[in-house]
Amino acid sequence: MLNGLEAAFFYLFAFIAVASAFMVISARNPVHSVLYLILTFFNAAGLFLLTGAEFLAMILLVVYVGAVAVLFLFVVMMLDVDFAELKSGALQYAPIGALVGLILAAELIVVTGGYAFAPQLATAVAKPTPDIATRTNTAALGDILYTDYIFYFQVAGLILLVAMIGAIVLTLRHKEGVKRQSISAQVARTPETGMEIKKVETGKGI
Partner 1 sequence: MTPELYSSLSLALPELIIAGGALVLLMIGVYSGERANSTVTGLAVAILIGAGAWMLLFGGTGKAFGNVFVSDPFAVFMKVLMLIGSAVTLVMSVGFAKAEKFDKFEYPVLILLSTVGMMLMISANDMITLYLGLELQSLALYVVAAINRDSVRSTEAGLKYFVLGALSSGMLLYGISLVYGYTGHTGFDAIAATLSGADRQLGLVFGLVFVLAGVAFKISAVPFHMWTPDVYEGAPTPVTAFFASAPKMAAMALMVRITMTAFEPIAADWQQIVVFISIASMVLGSFAAIGQKNIKRLMAYSSIGHVGFALVGLAANTETGVRGVAIYMLIYLVMTLGTFAFILAMRRKDGNVEQISDLAGLSTTNPMMATILTILMFSLAGIPPLAGFWAKWYVFLAAINANLYALAIIGVLASVVGAYYYLRIIKIMWFDEPVGGFLPMAGELRLVLGASGAFVLFYVFFGGPVGRVAEAAAKTFF
Partner 2 sequence: MYQAIVFLPLLGFLIVGLFGTSLGAKASEYITSGFLVIAAILSWVAFFQVGFGESEVFTVPVLRFIDSGSLQADWALRIDTLTVVMLVVVNTVSALVHIYSIGYMHHDPHRPRFFAYLSLFTFAMLMLVTADNLVQMFFGWEGVGLASYLLIGFWYKKPSANAAAIKAFVVNRVGDFGFILGIFGVFVLFGSVSFDAIFATAASYAPVEGAHEATAAVFNFLGYELDRGAALTVICLLLFMGAMGKSAQVPLHTWLPDAMEGPTPVSALIHAATMVTAGVFMLARLSPIFELSHTALTVVTFIGALTAFFAATVGLVQNDIKRVIAYSTCSQLGYMFVALGMGFYSAAIFHLFTHAFFKALLFLGSGSVIHAVSDEQDMRKMGGLRKLIPTTYWMMVIGTLALTGVGIPATIIGTAGFFSKDAIIEGSFVGHNPAAGFAFIALVIAAVFTSFYSWRLIFMTFHGKPRATADVMHHVHESPPVMLVPLFILAVGALFAGVIFHDAFIGEGYSEFWKAALYILPENHILHDFHGVPVWVKLAPFAAMILGFGVAYQFYIRSPETPKYLASQHRGLYAFLLNKWYFDELYDFLFVRPAKRLGTFLWKTGDGAVIDGLGPDGISARVVDVTNRVVKLQTGYLYHYAFVMLIGVAALVTWMMLGSTF
Binding residues for partner 2, rule: CB under 8 A, are: 89-90, 93, 96-97, 100-101, 103-104, 107, 110-111
Say which entry of partner 2, partner 1, none residue 156 contacts (CB below 5 to 8 A, set by partner kind): partner 1
Residue 78 CB, nearest approach to partner 2 (Å):
23
Which range binds partner 1 by CB under 8 A, 47-55, 132-140, 143-151, 180-188? 143-151
**Burial (0-12, 13-18, 19+ Cβ within 10 Å), 129:** middle
Three-class secondary structure of residue 90 per DSSP: helix
Site string for partner 1, 160-189 (x = CB under 8 A): -xxx-xx-xxxx------------------
- 101 forms part of the interface with partner 1 (CB under 8 A): no
For residue 97, state whether it binds partner 1 (rule: CB under 8 A): no
Distance CA 28, CA 93 (A): 17
Three-state secondary structure call for residue 136: coil
The residues, any chain, with a CB within 8 Å of residue 35's CB and separated by 6 or more, are 73
DSSP helix/strand/coil, 146: coil
Contact 135, 145 (CB under 8 A): no
Nearer to partner 2, 97 or 166 (CB): 97
Decide whether 132 or 165 has the Cβ nearer to partner 1: 165
